[in-house]
Amino acid sequence: MSLFVVFIIAIGFSLSFYLDGAYQILIVAIILSVFMSTFSYYKADKVALWSTGAKEIKKEDNPYIYRLVENLCIASGITTPKVHIINSSALNAFATGRDPEHASIALTTGLIEALENEELEGVIAHELSHIKNYDIRLMTVVVVLVGAIAILGNLIFRIQLYGGHRRSGNRDSGNAGLIILIISLVFLIISPIIAEIIKLAISRKREYLADASGALLTRYPEGLARALEKISKSEVPFQKASAATSHLFISNPLKKKAFSKLFSTHPPVDDRIMRLRQM
């Protein structure tokens, strides 16, 4: 988050220097970076749940699912998170929140219908492990910060295309303006790459850890292994998923979208299954 603030302020400074005395941009960049960081920490989980169409349930709404979550929470020693159901035939699930006391878990209706009891227990244990390991804080914050970087990249492009005037006092200031223009364009090009690298670095290692932690919780690695096999064989994409939220899910939800495998935020399913069965 600190690097994000520095990154946004650096872009704001570059643009304010490039444009004729437009230091308001630097002020806006400072305010934006602090606001987005704070918002991502406290509210990004609600953004993720809302964007995926997740609906919170109580125990009486679905006693089977709620008790599975509740029993595993007792076994792992964490607070029972809010339980959500997503009305989708896709097979997927995710957890979100900033800490175990402010966490949520969401399961698709397709997943609930397709998996046996031990398999569903394995998936839930995996997601609860993300909560217990505090992965959810990091992964949820990334949802908003990655989105902010994407928005900023588009804003820079529009400012360069339609925006103000370069500093023009003398040749040196003109050269400086050209340098800042180049730097700004570089930021525009690398910002989505940086966002993707952040997600890749965070997600892949944490998925392996959550698999192992979930298997430790249930004492039955085969349950999660079989669940991952069924999930990977499903050809139904999760339509409400986006590049900003894909890293939250137990399996890459962008199954049918172009370049989804090239920039997958998840390690290979076959490798995850192999590791589980070697435990």
Active site amino acids:
127
Answer for the pair 34, 145: CB distance below 8 angstroms, yes or no: no
What are the Cα distances from residue 16, in Å, to 36, 175, 210, 212?
Answer: 20, 15, 44, 48
With both helix axes pointing from N to C terminus, report the angle between 171-218 and 135-162 in degrees, rounded to the nearest 10.
160
Instruction: Give the whole-angstrom CA distance, residue 142 versus residue 64.
Output: 32
With vertex at residue 7, the alpha carbon angle to CA 139 and CA 246, rounded to the nearest 5 degrees, is 25
User: CA 138, 144, 148, 149 torsion: positive or negative?
Assistant: positive
Task: Give yes or no for a contact between 120 and 227, defined as CB atoms under 8 angstroms apart.
Answer: yes
Strands in 93-97's sheet, in edge-to-edge order, are 54-57, 82-86, 103-108, 93-97
DSSP H or E stretch at residue 73:
helix 63-76
The token duo for 75 is 């076994």
CA distance 271 to 11: 40
